């Protein structure tokens, strides 16, 4: 018996080491990237001997870069609005309803999430040409919206599956027609899932490179701008821009995580 | 004011209480709304059609449409069609793929790389997921998982750049190695399949970790204890219980990571070199030049997607057979 406990502890320590090594692997590159943005030299590389905030001052006083930030955020918000409405609608259709062709409908729903990035971008590029959508903001918003729909639908479907049927029945018994029952019972119940999915869509859109790259016009989104700058050489200025982008996305993510957790607690009580 | 009157008059009609002066009560009793609602919900059949019409239309035109149009363009000889010429259907775009080494070499390289990187991701994340699901208390589990999630919210490009800084000739790894006295001159990690692998594993690890974690979490602790009581060592327990019971998680994680790895474009461009050109770069090349190369690019994208689906399909079938064989 003792021997077994002993063995288990050995295993546990070994696995814990692997976990923390993995945490290092995940964090160290980002931390180094952030540190490099404070280096007082145009040359990227270690060691860092003197520090400066000049690169950040440069970024925040550069109107082009600030415009790109706004442009990316605007695209993210617009595409998220579309994805959330369409994704929720599809989820309501698919969840808990049996109809002819449901399996095919479900497969079609998840399709955009499964198509590898480059192929998805190419397909959208060709389709946009066919529809007569010029490359630019509209095209990017459209591509992001379509690509993000499956994520919304899946999250909302998961939440819908836990909605007690009796609540809808009670509302109907009290005289609510299906539309009012949906608006007053189902929709409020879905709010946490919809908000969580919106945050996820915002992050997906802000982080997306390949669709923005192939569907963008002359105006770059943030990842496309960083990519273009990287192709012409590394510089601490890129680190500063990338760090601001990183802080933006991580802040949205952490806030969403806290928000959903608080909400989960409330619904449990 | 007229609303109030109608509410009172309507008391016998619907089951809504006569005195309901709340917003929703008013809406429900408002004449135009009632007409609208009756129109929508006249019969369950009509109700379903109204609910289904928009999603079906969206799925067909937005989800399926781009893929079908890509397939159609891949079979034509020119796109977009120049005015005054006839567009003709042809298989020539597909023939081009087999005709030239510079086309099919990146294709097979991409599939090989994707398979190798997927396997590496599995090996790296399995112990991490195992530790989280089996050895950490439930309270800490969420926190420790969250710790791993944070970096994955950061975008593809920023994380790729972070890897460039890590592995460069004046990067952190070379600095540490030099400082330890292991090397005199920096090791050129960058622009090789190694740097590309580090980058892609870094980008995809989460998509493997989450399915593995949820599979391992469902595994009942009692089974492990029973096996231990019967004298099974840690390795046997892992091989005979954990591994077979989590095949589903492994299979979906690998499928996801494989599909994602084949689709990377920016990461191979930034981290790879001339000897590691992947098929995504080949495809993209046809879209940078003038439009008449689009059909070839579309054909190559179709080939790539079909191959990726075929491979993941066969893989899932195999894993399913393995699972069924184990439970028998």
Q: What is the pLDDT of residues A113-144, one digit of tens each?
A: 999 999 999 999 999 988 988 889 999 999 99
B301–A23 C-beta distance less than 8 A: no
When the pLDDT of each residue in chain B is averaged and rounded to a whole number, the result is: 83
My answer on whether B124 and B27 are in the same domain is no
Q: Which of residues 191-210 of B touch A (CB under 8 A)?
A: 202, 205
| The predicted structure's pLDDT at residue B9 | 38
Among B156-165, B301-310, B319-328, name the one with the lowest average pLDDT. Answer: B319-328
My answer on whether B110 and B258 are in the same domain is yes
Q: Is A218 exposed, middle or buried (0-12, 13-18, 19+ CB in 10 A)?
A: exposed
Instruction: Count CB atoms within 10 A of the CB of residue A179.
Output: 16
My answer on whether B186 and B275 are in the same domain is yes
DSSP symbols for A131-176: HTPPTTHHHHHHHHHHHHHHHHHHHHHHHHTTS-HHHHHHHHHTT-
User: What 3-state class would DSSP assign to B272?
Assistant: coil
More confident residue, A267 or B113: B113
ipTM more than 0.85? Answer: yes
What average pLDDT does range B4-31 have in this prediction? 58
Site from A43, A122, A158, A177 to mutate, B interface, most B CB atoms within 10 angstroms: A122
CATH code for position B238? 1.10.3720.10
In a domain, B86, yes or no: no
Instruction: Establish how many alpha carbons lie within 13 A of residue A62's alpha carbon, considering only the half-sphere containing its beta carbon.
Output: 14
Distance in angstroms (rounded) separating the CA atoms of residues A182 and A27: 44
- Whether chain A has a CB inside 8 Å of the CB on B159: the answer is yes
Give A112's contacts in chain B (Cβ within 8 Å): 63
Distance in angstroms (rounded) separating the CA atoms of residues A250 and A244: 10
My answer on whether B66 and B165 are in the same domain is no
Q: Are A32 and B165 in contact (CB under 8 A)?
A: yes
Distance in angstroms (rounded) separating the CA atoms of residues A246 and B291: 36
Tell me the CATH number for domain A59-268: 1.10.3720.10
What are the C-alpha distances in Å from B68 to residues A123, A127, B65, B86, B235? Answer: 9, 9, 5, 21, 49
| The predicted structure's pLDDT at residue A266 | 57
Q: Which of residues 237-266 of A touch B (CB under 8 A)?
A: 238-239, 242, 245-246, 249-250, 252-254, 257, 261
What average pLDDT does range A237-261 have in this prediction? 84
My answer on whether B314 and B179 are in the same domain is yes
My answer on whether B96 and B20 are in the same domain is no
Distance in angstroms (rounded) separating the CA atoms of residues B282 and B101: 12
Residue B32 lies in domain: 2-74
Three-class SS of A218-244:
CCCCHHHHHHHHHHCCCCHHHHHHHHH
- Whether chain A has a CB inside 8 Å of the CB on B265: the answer is yes
My answer on whether B138 and B58 are in the same domain is no
Distance in angstroms (rounded) separating the CA atoms of residues B173 and A252: 31
In a domain, B278, yes or no: yes
Q: Please count the structural domains in chain B.
A: 2
My answer on whether B262 and B302 are in the same domain is yes
Residue A166 has pLDDT above 60, yes or no: yes
Distance in angstroms (rounded) separating the CA atoms of residues B95 and B251: 33
| A231 Cα to chain B: minimum distance (Å) | 8
Q: Which of residues 4-43 of A touch B (CB under 8 A)?
A: 4, 7-8, 11-12, 15-16, 18-19, 22-23, 25-30, 32-33, 36, 43
Residue with tokens 């617009």: A78
Shortest CA distance from A227: residue in chain B: B157
Of B27, B43, B74, the domain-final residue: B74
Question: Residue A1: pLDDT band by 50, 70, 90 thresholds?
Answer: very low
Distance in angstroms (rounded) separating the CA atoms of residues B189 and B207: 25
Of B14, B40, B74, the domain-final residue: B74
My answer on whether B144 and B10 are in the same domain is no
Of A75, A209, A184, which is closest to residue A139 (Cα–Cα)? A75
In a domain, B179, yes or no: yes
pTM, 2 dp: 0.87
Q: Are B254 and B314 in contact (CB under 8 A)?
A: no
Q: Which of residues 10-29 of B touch A (CB under 8 A)?
A: 14-16, 24, 27-28
- Whether chain A has a CB inside 8 Å of the CB on B83: the answer is no
In a domain, B274, yes or no: yes
User: Residues 6 or more apart from B14 whose CB is under 8 A from it?
Assistant: A175, B28, B29, B34
Q: Are A172 and A186 in contact (CB under 8 A)?
A: no
My answer on whether B202 and B152 are in the same domain is yes
Residue with tokens 């592995």: B167
In a domain, B36, yes or no: yes
User: What 3-state class would DSSP assign to A53?
Assistant: coil
In a domain, B279, yes or no: yes
B233–A7 C-beta distance less than 8 A: yes
Where does chain B have alpha helices with state H?
2-9, 23-29, 31-40, 44-58, 65-74, 92-99, 101-135, 138-149, 156-167, 172-179, 193-218, 221-229, 234-237, 243-245, 247-262, 266-271, 279-288, 294-327
In a domain, B269, yes or no: yes
- Whether chain A has a CB inside 8 Å of the CB on B62: the answer is yes
More confident residue, B146 or B85: B146
Question: Residue B257: pLDDT band by 50, 70, 90 thresholds?
Answer: very high
In a domain, B84, yes or no: no
Residue B263 has pLDDT above 50, yes or no: yes
My answer on whether B26 and B140 are in the same domain is no
Distance in angstroms (rounded) separating the CA atoms of residues A235 and A43: 7
A130-136 long-range contacts (CB < 8 A, ≥24 apart) are: A130/B69, A134/A217, A135/A215, A135/A216, A135/A217, A136/A215, A136/A216, A136/A217, A136/A219
- Whether chain A has a CB inside 8 Å of the CB on B313: the answer is no
My answer on whether B28 and B160 are in the same domain is no
* Tokens standing for residue B256: 């996801």
Residue B316 has pLDDT above 70, yes or no: yes
């Amino acid at each position: 018996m003792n021997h077994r406990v002993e063995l288990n502890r050995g295993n546990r320590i070994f696995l814990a080491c692997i976990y923390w090594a993995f945490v290092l692997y995940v964090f160290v590159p980002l931390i180094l990237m952030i540190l490099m943005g404070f280096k007082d030299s145009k040359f990227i590389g270690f060691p860092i001997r003197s520090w400066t905030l000049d690169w950040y001052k440069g970024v925040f006083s550069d109107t082009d870069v600030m415009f790109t930030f706004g442009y990316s955020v605007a695209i993210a918000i617009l595409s998220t609005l579309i994805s959330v409405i369409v994704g929720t609608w599809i989820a309501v259709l698919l969840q808990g309803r049996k109809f002819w062709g449901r399996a095919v409908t479900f497969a079609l729903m998840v399709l955009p999430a499964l198509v590898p990035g480059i192929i998805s971008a190419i397909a959208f590029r060709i389709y946009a040409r066919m529809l007569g959508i010029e490359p630019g903001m509209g095209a990017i918003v459209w591509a992001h919206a379509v690509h993000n729909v499956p994520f919304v639908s899946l999250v909302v479907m998961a939440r819908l599956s836990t909605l007690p049927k009796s609540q809808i029945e009670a509302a109907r018994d009290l005289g609510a027609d299906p539309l009012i029952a949906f608006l007053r019972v189902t929709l409020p119940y879905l709010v946490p899932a919809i908000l969580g999915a919106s945050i996820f869509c915002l992050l997906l859109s802000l982080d997306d490179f390949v669709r923005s790259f192939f569907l963008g016009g002359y105006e770059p989104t943030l990842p496309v701008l960083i990519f273009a700058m990287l192709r012409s050489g590394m510089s601490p200025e890129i680190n500063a821009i990338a760090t601001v982008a990183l802080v933006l996305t991580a802040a949205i993510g952490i806030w969403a995580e806290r928000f959903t957790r608080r909400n989960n607690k409330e619904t449990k009580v | 004011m007229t609303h109030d009157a109608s509410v009172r008059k309507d008391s016998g009609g619907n089951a809504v209480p006569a005195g309901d002066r709340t917003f929703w009560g008013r809406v429900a009793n408002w004449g135009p709304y009632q007409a609208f609602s009756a129109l929508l919900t006249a019969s369950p059949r009509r109700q379903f059609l109204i609910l289904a019409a928009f999603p079906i239309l969206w799925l067909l035109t937005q989800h399926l449409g781009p893929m079908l149009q890509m397939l159609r363009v891949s079979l034509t000889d020119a796109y977009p069609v120049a005015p005054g010429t006839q567009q003709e259907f042809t298989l020539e775009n597909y023939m081009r793929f087999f005709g030239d080494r510079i086309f099919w070499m990146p294709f097979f390289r991409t599939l090989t790389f994707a398979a190798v990187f997927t396997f590496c991701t599995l090996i790296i994340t399995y112990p991490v997921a195992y530790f989280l699901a089996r050895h950490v208390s439930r309270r800490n589990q969420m926190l420790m998982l969250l710790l791993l999630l944070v970096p994955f919210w950061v975008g593809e490009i920023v994380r790729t750049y972070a890897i460039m800084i890590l592995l460069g000739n004046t990067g952190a790894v070379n600095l540490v190695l030099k400082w330890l006295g292991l090397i005199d001159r920096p090791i050129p990690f960058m622009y090789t399949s190694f740097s590309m692998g580090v980058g892609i594993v870094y980008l995809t690890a989460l998509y493997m970790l989450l399915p593995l974690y949820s599979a391992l979490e469902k595994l009942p602790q009692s089974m492990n204890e029973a096996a231990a009581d019967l004298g099974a060592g840690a390795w046997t327990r892992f091989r005979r219980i954990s591994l077979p019971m989590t095949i589903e998680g492994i299979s979906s994680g690998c499928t996801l990571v494989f599909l994602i790895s084949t689709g990377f474009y920016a990461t191979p461009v930034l981290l790879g070199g001339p000897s590691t050109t992947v098929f995504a770069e080949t495809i993209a090349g046809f879209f940078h030049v003038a439009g008449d190369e689009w059909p070839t690019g579309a054909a190559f994208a179709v080939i790539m997607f079909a191959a990726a689906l075929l491979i993941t399909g066969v893989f899932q079938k195999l894993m399913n057979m393995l699972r069924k064989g184990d439970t028998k």
